[in-house]
Structure 1
């Protein structure tokens, strides 16, 4: 049974573009590499041919994996999300209770996570700890060093 993944419109568009790139650009390149290697003679002793066939197999596996992900992808309807709680697509400003440091994260699906852009996965320890919390709540988050406490300062939708 495949796992359903939730995507924003932007994330779903990126996934579709990646699949199109693999099918329309990478797949013909792999076929051409096999044809070029085949033209070089005896296939029984042609390492280049074997490598090209293996690369094509890996590419087809990757395409199949992305197709399966796309078939189980669901678009998140942002109009139906509760703005009073931290949910997927919420931008949450949190304050470390211990040192007072504030950080802002946008909670996204696992496939769209990008820490540099301030997007963390709802399946990450911090993401899991923030889900369902409201402004003023304290989230106890289990990290390798123990438990960290964060106060929810602000929840917005961008």
Structure 2
């Protein structure tokens, strides 16, 4: 499966993001609104650090809600690839410029709380690897214009 539109997610990642969205858009908004109201009651807003901190937190929360809304509306849901070719949902071990790297081709949202590096299928490295198998060699053009050689060592499904 190639990632051509939206963000590729496993069903588990979609469910996790939907729960986060529901929480933030519901009780999260109510909690921050209550916090802002309580800080507003403290008096002069110009010198009220708690009020300004709460408003800043509200802005961050609203940005995350909008990010989640976009991801959820444009998500492509599927299972991690079990094929031997690189696709969204695969963990790839590759030699990049002579250095071995292990990373997920997909979305940071799929990786969740894991510490694995993530490259989207649309990134220069990800798009160069889509469809490649263990042993294949390719290259991609870095943002600075340099051609970067890549050799695929292993391809495995992401297990979370």
TM over 0.5: yes
1:34 positional shift: 3.6
1:92–1:156 contact (8 Å) kept in structure 2: yes
Structure with greater contact order relative to length (CA < 8 Å, sep ≥ 6): 2
Aligned to 1:105: 103
1:130 positional shift: 0.9
Aligned to 1:154: 154
* Residue deviations 1:71-128 (CA, integer Å, cap 9, x gap): 22221234xx4713111112222124x63x4322221125446894233322332212
Q: What's the TM-score once normalised by structure 1's chain length? A: 0.69
Aligned to 2:87: 87
Query: CA 1:90/1:22 → structure 2, altered by over 3 Å: closer, same or farther?
Result: same
Query: CA 1:26/1:148 → structure 2, altered by over 3 Å: closer, same or farther?
Result: same
2:128–2:138 contact (8 Å) kept in structure 1: yes
What is the correspondence of 1:108-147 to structure 2 with a 5 Å cutoff? 108-109=106-107, 111-112=109-110, 116-143=115-142, 144=144, 146-147=146-147
Alignment counterpart, residue 16 of structure 2, candidates 14, 17, 23 = 14
Query: CA 1:64/1:105 → structure 2, altered by over 3 Å: closer, same or farther?
Result: closer
Query: CA 1:24/1:150 → structure 2, altered by over 3 Å: closer, same or farther?
Result: same
Aligned Cα root-mean-square deviation (Å): 3.3
Q: How many Å separate the matches in 1 of 2:117 and 2:36?
A: 42
1:7 positional shift: 0.8
Q: 4+ residue stretches of structure 1 with deviation over 3 A?
A: 37-41, 45-62, 110-116
* Residue deviations 1:7-64 (CA, integer Å, cap 9, x gap): 12332233123213313443122221343245457xxx64459856676566445424
Q: Which runs of 5+ in 2 are unaligned?
A: none
Q: How many Å separate the matches in 1 of 2:55 and 2:107?
A: 34
Q: How many Å separate the matches in 2 of 1:103 and 1:58?
A: 33
Q: How many Å separate the matches in 1 of 2:56 and 2:148?
A: 47
